[in-house]
Copies of this chain bind each other. A is one copy, B any other.
Amino acid sequence: MSEAFKSGPEQQRLLRKLESIAIITDDERQAVLDLPLTIRTYAPDQDIVRDGDRPSECCLVLDGFTFRYKLLTDGRRQILAFHTPGDIPDLQSLHLEVMDHSVAALVLTRVAFISHIDMNALCRRYSGLTAALWRDSLIDAAMFREWMVGLGRRSAHERIAHLLCEMTLRLAAVGLSDGRSSNLPITQVELGDALGLTAVHVNRVLQDLRRDGLITLSSSRLTVLDWKSLRRVGDFDPAYLHQNRPAEAL
């Protein structure tokens, strides 16, 4: 269930991510490729890191999906983010000792762990990598801000349309969508917990979106039939994703 690698294809995943958010020099590239990783696999709904933990390593998503969430004392759950391959969902643990939320696998997911010690050594030697990782954590925060707008001020229809736009774009950015159809293994309960809605209401809104010919969504397959309308309904502007290359194809 757990294996250590030296310079396999897993490091490449991290490298591609970093190169997508900053310019990486040859030295830095090599240092990333030399990073020791520990690979582990998680079942759906299994926790990877828990609220209150004091992690000594960060996790990098390799295959599958993860999500971050917080639980209220009475069991209500708020999902804070969904993560795709290349993401480091608990990067913040590098500088915040104790976790203020949990990270779990959404589906069967392969994860690579990088020790904080190695990560810090890397950052101390290469200020370019520090900047890249810092920037990554800032984009993370930018996505929280946009979700706050949805939770606070958007209607259920707007929120759902917005999320579908965001996920399609993000999956396309890592080659997991052609911008039209994607594998999106998120249940309606999870959508509700992410968007501050009940699963029942999510269901009804999805039916509206289907009826209006905007999307198709069944057995984990999302297809955007009418990108323009979906984008309009969700009032979606991808600026907050801070992707350098504009998604002109969409």
Q: Is A65 an interface residue (CB 8 A)?
A: no
Q: Is A5 an interface residue (CB 8 A)?
A: no
The answer to whether A100 touches B151 (Cβ under 8 A) is: no
The answer to whether A137 touches B139 (Cβ under 8 A) is: no
Q: Is A250 an interface residue (CB 8 A)?
A: no
Q: Is A50 an interface residue (CB 8 A)?
A: no
A151 to B96, CA, bound (A): 24
With A130-B130, A152-B151 in contact, is A80–B135 under 8 Å at CB?
no
A100 to B130, CA, bound (A): 22
Q: Which of B77, B131, B239 contacts A98 (CB 8 A)?
A: B239
Q: Which of B92, B139, B154, B240 contacts A142 (CB 8 A)?
A: B92
What's the interface size class on A, roughly? 35 or more
Interface centre among A144, A148, A152 (most CB of B within 10 A): A152
The A interface, classified by DSSP as helix, strand, loop or mixed, is: helix
The answer to whether B138 touches A96 (Cβ under 8 A) is: yes
Chain B: CB-nearest residue to A232: B73
* Residue interface mask A144-156, B partner, CB < 8 A = 1: 1111110111100
Q: Which of B153, B193, B235 contacts A78 (CB 8 A)?
A: B153
The answer to whether B149 touches A148 (Cβ under 8 A) is: no
Q: Please name all residues of chain B whose beta carbon is closer than 8 Å to the beta carbon of A196 when the two chains form the complex.
A: 151-153
Expressed in whole angstroms, the minimum distance between the Cβ of A201 and any Cβ of chain B is 13
Chain B: CB-nearest residue to A194: B152
